[in-house]
Chains A and B, each alone.
Chain A
Amino acid sequence: MIALLLALADPCAPPPAAAARDPASARVYVEVGENAAGPTEVLEAFREALRLDPSNARAQAGFQAACRPGDDRFEKARARMDAGDRAGAIAIFEQLRPMPAAALLEGICLYELEQDDAAETALLEAQADDATADAARFFLGLLARRRGQQAEAEQLFTEVAQGNSSVADQARRLLKPTRLSVSALAESGYDSNVSLAPTNAPLGGDALGSLAAAVVWRPVEGLFVRASGFYRAQPTLSDYDLGALGGTVGYGWGPLSAEYDYDFVALGNAPYLSANRLGLAGRLPLGAWTLSAGYGARFENYRTSVTSVFSGTLHGWQIAAALRLSREASVEIAYRFARDWTDEAATTYFEHGPAAVLRFGSGRVRLSIEASAAFRLYEAFDDSVGVQQQDSILDAALLGEYDVDPRWTVRLALGGRDQISNVDELTYTRAYATLGVAFAAGL
């Protein structure tokens, strides 16, 4: 009697056998138990199977497993995750949350499936518990890096690297600056109005193919040296094939940076322009906002007799404010000023205007839409055009990028310009489209 009462009270006590064995029904209960998701009905089904047929080995095994101290769902989910069945693992981890370890591993599975938003929610949950905080931060850092939020990623990796968790070494390795990085971009497309002269004068439409490459070397923290090259060929306007070589030395100190660069440009395979430039920039993050300002002075020396009157110093100022709208989207607005002091007053101008860019990035896809306006007023009457030149330049561009893998990116650029000038031949519209492939790698 006492044994019967104990059996009734304890679901894990062996069930009393049924008056008549029923192996067929027991098999159905075993099937139900093996397909059940929750521990209570699993136990219930195997218990009933065992009652109907105490000799059923699967019922015995299922009953014992269901009654094993603790819950083996976590191990089951881990096993599924290890076997690559992330969907199956997520389904079980989801039942186990808010268990921090389950939230962490679910977040990792979701990260691997590129379900970034859901991964972030699970990882933030895991971050709240000391035992899983560092590992969660590490994966949050990887997420931030995938979204292109480099500063946030570095902050998270730094926090992890300061600890002694199992992922601290990996975080340190990721923080170690890449000493040498190379990048290249090959594009082809069409430009309805190739514009290369300093006056922005149009030349006509043509197809184009271009290749750009850059090597960046970071010998010590903060210092970088960059060498870049660019060549653009046009099948019809081949006299205007453009080649450029450049070198930059820069130094970044926290939110401040300074750089010097030199550019040499050839047009139609003949020297066209050489320029030295000094630039200073600073940025101030304020929560979701980032304020920035920059100044650059470019000392330009045009090398052809026609364009030499544009030689001089181009000063540029910019102030900008960027706001992160959501995890995927941000907007930046800026106002730009430029003063080009050339050798002649008729080619000296002041320019100003706003610019805005909306950026969106999710998983492997990035999209940006940019629009700007520049209002340019030349300083003096120009005898060659018969007026004091005044231009309004409206630009819009859309850029879409898809990361095929961490090194290769497909890039589509569409854009247009509407230039309105009080000189008729300088009033024009322009549209262009290019499709390219980019490569980037760090050593």
Chain B
Amino acid sequence: MLYVLAVLLAASGADEHLLTGARAFRAGEYAKALVEFRVAEKLGGPGEASWYAAAALQKMGRAEDALIAFANAEASAPNARDALLDYYRALACYDARLYLCAQRLLVQVGDAGGPRIGDMARKTRESIDKLFQTPPARGAVDWYREKAQVAKAAKRESLAALYTAEADALQARLAK
């Protein structure tokens, strides 16, 4: 009984921090939002808070950290994902120059995130399509492979996997 009560109290505490984080996020106070989401995660376990923390990292301009956080969130709380979070994840991919990763996510987002997000997703997709109007350079593939090496050396395996996947996809395009 005490255990159930403790869990309920912790959960309500987590919700409170989740809401505080969401308010901070809307106000553009992303560092504060990130801390609140992390506190919510500590109190309530992985869930929405993990995804929002990743979105806050994207907003703070830390694309690689955001991508690792998104990968962790997906592994620990796959059901808490939604179209808006996928949009932020796509932006993190875009910021990290993982354009094919961004494109794949933006296709999934479509209009599911509402007309405003749908419109922004479309514009981002168009800018990626423009980037790929000319064939990728051989050096680009090497750049992604090097980034994968660095991420692997730093034991950031999920990030290394993203860079490797991008390099493989680009190489396949080069081969065509």
Contacts and interface: CB of A to CB of B under 8 A. Distances in A.
25 contacts: A25-B13, A25-B39, A32-B35, A32-B42, A35-B38, A36-B34, A36-B35, A36-B38, A37-B65, A38-B60, A38-B65, A40-B31, A40-B60, A44-B32, A44-B35, A45-B35, A86-B153, A88-B154, A90-B154, A91-B156, A94-B150, A94-B154, A117-B145, A118-B146, A118-B153
A29 interface: yes
B43 interface: yes
B171 to A, nearest CB: 13
Contacts of A239: none
B168 interface: no
Contacts of A31: 42
Interface string B36-51: 0011001100000000
Interface of B: 13, 31-32, 34-35, 38-39, 42-43, 60, 62, 64-65, 142, 145-147, 149-150, 152-156
A110 B65 contact: no
Contact of B146 (A32, A45, A121): A121
A241 interface: no
A106 B152 CA distance: 13
A90 to B, nearest CB: 4
A28 B150 contact: no
A219 B42 CA distance: 70
Contact of A32 (B13, B39, B60, B156): B39
Nearest to B142: A117
Interface residues of A, number: 32
Secondary structure class of chain A's binding surface, majority of residues: helix
Interface in A99-154: 106, 109-110, 113, 115, 117-118, 121-122
A300 interface: no
B149 to A, nearest CB: 4
A48 interface: yes
A394 interface: no
Interface string A245-266: 0000000000000000000000
Given A28-B42, A121-B146, A113 B35 contact: no
Contacts of A48: 35
A32 B34 CA distance: 10
A3 B38 CA distance: 30
Most buried by A among B13, B32, B38, B153: B153
A41 B35 contact: yes
A28 B43 contact: yes
Contacts of B38: 32, 35-36, 41, 45
Given A41-B35, A117-B146, 11 more contacts: A28-B39, A31-B42, A33-B35, A36-B38, A44-B34, A45-B38, A90-B150, A91-B156, A115-B149, A117-B149, A121-B146
Contacts of A29: 35, 39
A94 B160 CA distance: 14
A118 B146 CA distance: 5
B96 to A, nearest CB: 12
Nearest to B156: A91
Nearest to A110: B153
Contacts of B142: 117, 326
Contact of B62 (A32, A38, A110, A115): A38
Contacts of A90: 150, 153-154
